Amino acid sequence: MTADGRSRDEDVGGGPFDGIDPKLTIFALANGMDLEKNGEVRRLAWYRDGHDRGILLTVSEDGTISVKAQAWSRGDDTSLKSAPVGEALEPDELGRALTSLLEKGLDAANAL
């Protein structure tokens, strides 16, 4: 909880994730994942087969969004593996293809 009473994961609104956050929340809940929100970064995270795994969505300086699958060992910063799922997507383009990209990211992260 922050000093102003918001959850640490609560987005203050605005930005490229406005129309996407509700869909990310539903996907995370449906798949037993945590949804981490930090400014212009979102990560769906879960644990499987001895590794933390995630789908990372980041906003670049030009406002496009990249999607990466990730896997890492808890406590070992050097163990991070990642694979691109979608690059330089406009927010509305990502919104239209979100479910398909998240499913692709889920499969890719589990394969890392």
Report the distance separating Cα 99 and Cα 86, nearest Å. Answer: 12
Q: Is the Cβ–Cβ distance between 112 and 49 less than 8 Å?
A: no
Q: β-strand 34-38 against 81-89: which pairing, if any?
A: unpaired
Interval 44-101: pLDDT, tens: 999 999 999 999 999 999 999 999 999 999 888 788 999 999 999 999 999 999 999 9
Report the distance separating Cα 54 and Cα 78, nearest Å. Answer: 16
Report the distance separating Cα 110 and Cα 3, nearest Å. Answer: 37
pTM: 0.84
Report the distance separating Cα 78 and Cα 63, nearest Å. Answer: 29
